A and B are shown apart, each in its own frame.
Chain A
């Protein structure tokens, strides 16, 4: 043991705190008391078989879905509700929109706006949500496109780009709102294998710059090399969490072992 305490690490409050979250569609329980924390600057990879509730959890963090029980906090602020005299009051649309703007989200199918050029995709929200002047938004977009290696495609329409390029634009679009937290939902699952590398490289760079990331992925090499922690979900519950090396080498839960065996 060293005499000097680790710098701030222990006192840091998590940037994302999910506590005992329950979510159901009708009678179908999709999340059954999920809890997890993501510390500032941490990269957390969410693993689990299809249908285990990974996408649903990400969508709840962004209030694209409501939850029935539990709480989700981003930077200490409750998602979807306000605490008032010890009671929970539903937040209004403007409040929820403000929260979403600070949480970037990248989808499996990119969801770029097809009627807008790449540049317009990147400047729409900064200009009309954050009220940034047009010139500043364009400069920011140019800088972000440079970072994802697409500076020369600013005036292309999404359909003129490959899937890998579209996904990199989608990442840049999310970054343009300067989010504190980035959510990725299987960002490379819809891509041809030879295009996956470019997208993962952008995500690695982002992690290296200290972005807080919650990533649903089946890319085991990314999970092993980039993630600070892995979380394994099955049937709407978190079964196991831990450092990648330990979890991949020696999974505790039989379901985790079974799942990881498929990627060997």
Chain B
């Protein structure tokens, strides 16, 4: 991005006119405002267009009468919305837990030499990745009309106990199953890619030390695979946060359906959609930050130094911009008194 990045605010600038080394002096950075913002002159027109568009958008958001920011503020922390928010978080966490856990099992099965294991994992992935998520959710929601009673017993033999399906698979359980089982199909491919990314020599070295297969997978292969697994899993989690709103079709009062319930009563559609959007954005922001720290954890040993945290990096950027500003003003001052400057 910046043509002249600095490692931090403390980075000392080379004195502009040392000449001590005898080498040819390089032209100094031009003390202009675009240098302060770290924008190349050729990027100037586009930068201006983007800034103007952004200003227009911000103006619209603040002044558009339909948004009614006071209504947004009112409902942002209302108990109905917060209940929906909690349910969305519960759905996302539980469905992702199923997705990651079952996905890892499916990935290992898919790579097994046993054709029954790899074949059934392949079939699972084919079905749950192929059928539309909305259809899967509706299917679990309507499970009772397909299998009215669920029983526990010997396969094809006597059953010990049985339950009414609707009693066991509540709308919430149906939603978690629909989202989680679909997610597992995607996660299994992500986990498989991660496992395949680990050098075969790692497994051999571990086996040569006497580790058994489970130990090798748990302690040697999976921790290294995590570097490849975590970034797309973060994506999936953010996707899940939003696709959990699909279960609103089953009248499950998660975040989206909660605001829909409010605006169907008050007709304040836009402000309430803004409330939901703001919450979704807030949650994805928190997730991205969390993902960063998880990546840092599993990246240990992969670089000579750990990368800076997002906060550190932001502060460094601001510091660097301030330093550039300071240098530019100092140089502008110098230009006026060229002769006196030592």
Distance between Cα atoms of A20 and B33 in the complex (Å): 80
Residue A91, interface by CB 8 Å: no
Whether a CB of chain B sits under 8 angstroms from the CB of A69 is no
Contact B300 A107 (CB under 8 A): no
- The complex places the Cα of A65 from the Cα of B219 at a distance, in Å, of 23
Residue of A98, A159, A170 near B301 (CB, 8 A) is: A159
Determine if A115 and B300 form an interchain contact, defined as CB atoms under 8 angstroms apart.
yes
Given A94-B212, A116-B301, A107-B220 contact (CB < 8 Å)? no
Q: Complex Cα distance A117/B301, Å? A: 8
> In the assembly, what is the distance between CA of A103 and CA of B223, in Å?
26
Say yes or no: A114 contacts B301, CB within 8 Å.
yes
Is B249 in contact with chain A by the CB < 8 A criterion? no
Could you tell me which residues of chain A, from 75 to 104, have a CB within 8 Å of some CB in chain B? 93-94, 97-98, 100-104
A174 touches B202 (CB 8 A): no
Q: How many angstroms between the C-alpha atoms of A200 and B339 in the bound complex? A: 65
A177 — which chain B residues lie within 8 A by C-beta? 209-210
* CB atoms of A129 and B210 under 8 A apart: yes
Interface size for A (C-beta < 8 A) is 34
CA–CA, A129 to B209, complex, Å? 8
Residue of B nearest to A99 (CB): B210
Task: Give CA–CA (A111, B206) in the complex, Å.
Answer: 9
Q: Is the CB of A107 within 8 A of B210?
A: no
In whole Å, how far is A199's beta carbon from the nearest beta carbon of chain B?
A: 17
Interface residue A109 (Cβ < 8 Å from any Cβ of B): yes
**Interface assignment of B304: CB less than 8 Å from any CB of chain A:** yes
- Taking a contact as CB atoms under 8 Å apart, the answer to whether A114 and B224 are in contact is yes
How far in angstroms is the closest Cβ of chain A from B52?
47
B302 within 8 A of A: yes
- Bound complex: CA A252 to CA B223 (Å): 51
- Distance in angstroms from B15 CB to nearest chain A CB is 34
Instruction: List chain A residues, Cβ under 8 A from B300.
Output: 115, 157
Query: B301 contacts A100, CB within 8 Å?
Result: no
Among B201, B205, B304, contact of A159 (Cβ-Cβ < 8 Å): B304
B207 touches A (CB below 8 Å): yes
Does A244 count as interface, using CB distance less than 8 angstroms? Answer: no
Residue of B whose beta carbon sits closest to that of A93: B212
Interface hits, A147-174 → B, CB 8 Å: 157-160, 170, 173-174
Which B residues touch A94, using CB under 8 A? 212
Report chain B residues within 8 Å CB of A97: 207, 210-212
Residues in A neighbouring B202, C-beta threshold 8 A: 111, 113
CA A129 – CA B206 in complex, angstroms? 10
Q: Are B210 and A100 in contact (CB under 8 A)?
A: yes
11 intermolecular pairs with C-beta atoms under 8 Å apart: A62-B208, A93-B213, A97-B212, A101-B210, A111-B205, A114-B302, A115-B302, A125-B210, A128-B215, A157-B300, A174-B208
Besides the contacts A109-B201, A124-B219, what 14 more A-B pairs have beta carbons closer than 8 Å?
A: A93-B213, A94-B212, A97-B210, A97-B212, A100-B207, A104-B208, A112-B205, A115-B224, A128-B211, A128-B219, A129-B210, A159-B303, A170-B205, A173-B209
B residues with a Cβ closer than 8 A to A are 199, 201-202, 204-213, 215, 219-220, 223-224, 298, 300-304
